[in-house]
Structure 1
Amino acid sequence: MSDAIYDCTAVRLSVTTLKRIWGKLKYDSAPTITTLNALAQFAGYADWKDLTQRLDQPDEPEATEVIAPPGKPPRKSRRLVLGLAGALALAAVLCFFFMSAGEKGRRYNPGQFEFSANKVITEGVPNSVIFNYTARVRPESLFIVQTWDMSRKTLVASNKHQHSAIYYYPGYFKAKLVADGQIVKTHDLWITSGGWLCLLENEPAPVYFKKKECQQNGVVEVNAAMLERHGNLPAGSRVRFFNQREMPGLMNDNFTFETQLKNDFDDGSNACHHTEVLIQCKDDIIFIPLTAKPCVGDLLLYCCGARVESKSADLSGFGCDLTQWTSLRVEAVNKTVTVFVNNRKAYTLTFPNSPTEIVGVQYRFNGAAAVKETRFRSGGKVWEMD
């Protein structure tokens, strides 16, 4: 189940965590919101809040889906936990069925369907997208999957033609139209950021910082004072920086990426200073973890199909003092990627996936953080991320 949840949500829940959820291990604390959101998504809901609302008030699928960040969990009850456990057990079966139904059930000709999407604004978030679809046959189920995550699918009526969604995050998404488990159409959807975008995870929508506030003198920063102005949010709330833009000719098999970053928030809850740097590609990702040196025993490095975990590899090179400016450099030569942290080689790997274009970068921090001197290089060209 741990593997199945990861495949559907990209969140790794350990066997120990799952045993605690099902009461196999004694544990007096409540599950974290990250755990609850992952379990709810695996069960077929958008997140934990969506699950609790659906169990309280079952209804028809909504006409508009919000692609939103995880939020604070509502009050938990034994009924909800039991409902989630039952939904998960069913989801484990449905997940297998959903992925295999297209092979074992009725097969459709993609020409029987049409699928497209139109952004309401050219760039920036939030951004609404209108999906247009036509089914010339009547499948038993018709879903639109709006992101890479197959578990986040929305049931639509096969006799209708539009579905709308709100995207709160930039990204390159391959939306899918799925008939009875078979992907019949796909559509590339790129939500750009319009330069640097700084936000704070919150529900129902993230808090966006004004560009002139978070970008000054070549530094992109969300500091403690900016966070304190949102007094109803914890000081260690999840901060994200995005920069998604056109960079023609920049491919992930041959490039150099350079940046400097720091995460100096530390109230005792952020002792590890877990930080993630994502080089975002069309239909792929390079995921680089950074953390305090004592915390390198729980890291995941992912690069275009190559996955490395600290439980089976030495990732100690990704340990550093993130309260100070830390330099990160990524060099790719013919799909062999080497990561340098403070000019020391941290790891080298060769990825298996086909080369694709790079579309931007994303940073994830806990609390106050800053980034500067970020750029891509390839073939004599330089793309300054400003």
Structure 2
Amino acid sequence: MPQENQPLARCKKQIESKLGWGNADTWQSQDFENLSHRIFEETNRMLSGSTLKRIWGKVRYESNPNRATLDVLAQFLGYTGWLEFVNSESAPIVAPADPKQNKRSLARLFLPWLGFLGLLLLVVVAIPRFLPPHQDLYFQNVAFNVRMVTSGLPNTVVFTYDVSQSNADSVFIQLSWDNRSRFKVDKALNEYTSTYYLPGYYHAKLILNDSTVKEQDVFIPTDGWTGIIMQNPTPIYLNKQLFADRLALTKTNLSELGVNFEREPPILDFYLVSDTINAESGNMHFEAEVQNTYEERNGICRKTTVLLMGSKGVISIPLSKKGCVGELGLMLGSRYINGKTHDLSGFGVDFSNPVRLSCTTGMGRVDIAVDDHAVFSDDFAEDIGQIVGLQIRFIGTGFIQSIRLE
């Protein structure tokens, strides 16, 4: 990559700080995949893990990111676009003091400031006496509602709000339980729209100043199983005829769809999201047989994720080839178990055959088995509510041989 410009370097540092994952020098491939997913959740724009690795210098690349990519990075940080980010970072350059300045000159400059500082101190002490008393936030007559404009995907959600009688200075709408999906809205207006490209159960919030005052569920179901290929700027929604006989996608299918997988592996998701799924996450048994069939060199790890969506969070179970388990991460509600700091070797598999995965919860415990071998068992005191959806993700291609939830 050519010499990096300062705004891009600052942007990357701010993203690292926002994520709290430590210095990017220690990140592995799975971390960039996780960042890709989080960027999409917040911006509805897709930057692949491979693209992010090039931006962070993990992969050799001979050109700078294009403007569209930079806009997405800036939006992830809460800006409208790259220009706003760059302008917000500009600051006047202050010349350093002359080290040869003599003590007498310093004294002549310093003494007049003593009087000024004394006057400033007097003002600081006196001002609070003239300020109005602190006012409690008023939100008793605030309204907040959601409406989907259609069924299916993608789906635009209209948020209607009325905060005209509140004394709040700032108004925000948060699109899900992830506080990084928070957007400032105009207090004088009454509508804000957002397009959801993926199905799921989202928990939207109306926030005044720094207080959540109203909440609404945003539930975007699927019509049976839905196949999606993630790409920028919008996903590809697969025709159901492609997987009418079996939930599967092959390299031949990719070529027919015009999906270029030479530079990076595709991200394939199968979703089933419905309010008719009758399972409590704290007392359930889930089984699935899956196989990642991708054999290209750019997807050597064959990473696969089995995810159970709940009304209060997710259970995300990773699988990969055995040599890649250090890049995996297990999610149990709000708890993230990192393969860098925990032994997740039991989630390493041989994908030459379908892999059997099971997850059982009950009595405040969770037990996970791979090919009938126990690989993880721990406390599960805080469940994720009612199960409302299933998601199987293949980095590459793959199929679901069987799946059962009870």
Q: TM-score normalised to the size of structure 1? A: 0.73
5+ long unaligned stretches in structure 2? 1-11, 53-62, 90-133
2:396 match: 367
The amino acid across from 1:211 in the alignment is: K
- The structure in which a higher percent of residues are helix is 2
1:8-32 deviations in Å (ceiling 9; x for gaps): 66xx75524389xxxxxxxxxxxx9
Structure 2 Cα separation of the partners of residues 277 and 36 of structure 1: 18
Structure 2 Cα separation of the partners of residues 39 and 201 of structure 1: 13
The amino acid across from 1:330 in the alignment is: C
Distance 1:227 1:269, change over 3 A: same
Match of 1:70 among 36, 47, 50: 47
5+ long unaligned stretches in structure 1? 20-31, 48-66, 92-104, 378-386
2:171 match: 142
The amino acid across from 2:325 in the alignment is: V
**Following TM superposition, by how much is the alpha carbon of 1:309 offset from its aligned partner in structure 2, in angstroms?**
2.3
1:126 match: 154
Structure 2 Cα separation of the partners of residues 38 and 296 of structure 1: 19
Structure 1 Cα separation of the partners of residues 142 and 401 of structure 2: 46
Structure 1 Cα separation of the partners of residues 276 and 16 of structure 2: 31
Distance 1:282 1:177, change over 3 A: same
1:201-241 deviations in Å (ceiling 9; x for gaps): 1122100101121231xx20111111112335325111111
1:215 match: 244
**Following TM superposition, by how much is the alpha carbon of 1:248 offset from its aligned partner in structure 2, in angstroms?**
5.6
**Following TM superposition, by how much is the alpha carbon of 1:158 offset from its aligned partner in structure 2, in angstroms?**
0.8
**Following TM superposition, by how much is the alpha carbon of 1:325 offset from its aligned partner in structure 2, in angstroms?**
0.8
Match of 1:244 among 273, 278, 285: 273
Q: Is 2:310–2:384's contact at 8 Å kept on the other side of the alignment?
A: no
Q: Is 2:158–2:194's contact at 8 Å kept on the other side of the alignment?
A: yes
The amino acid across from 2:312 in the alignment is: D
Matched residue SS, 1:116: strand
Distance 1:35 1:328, change over 3 A: closer
Structure 2 Cα separation of the partners of residues 361 and 149 of structure 1: 19
Q: Is 2:288–2:403's contact at 8 Å kept on the other side of the alignment?
A: yes
**Following TM superposition, by how much is the alpha carbon of 1:155 offset from its aligned partner in structure 2, in angstroms?**
2.0
Kindly indicate whether residue 347 of structure 2 is the aligned counterpart of residue 318 of structure 1: yes
Match of 2:405 among 368, 376, 381: 376
- The structure in which a higher percent of residues are strand is 1
Match of 1:224 among 238, 251, 263: 251
Task: Let me know the Cα RMSD of the aligned residues.
Answer: 3.6
Distance 1:38 1:286, change over 3 A: closer
The amino acid across from 1:76 in the alignment is: P
Matched residue SS, 2:257: coil
Structure 1 Cα separation of the partners of residues 144 and 186 of structure 2: 14
Kindly indicate whether residue 207 of structure 2 is the aligned counterpart of residue 178 of structure 1: yes
Distance 1:276 1:110, change over 3 A: farther
2:9 match: none
**Following TM superposition, by how much is the alpha carbon of 1:308 offset from its aligned partner in structure 2, in angstroms?**
2.2
The amino acid across from 1:262 in the alignment is: Q
The amino acid across from 2:285 in the alignment is: T
**Following TM superposition, by how much is the alpha carbon of 1:198 offset from its aligned partner in structure 2, in angstroms?**
0.5
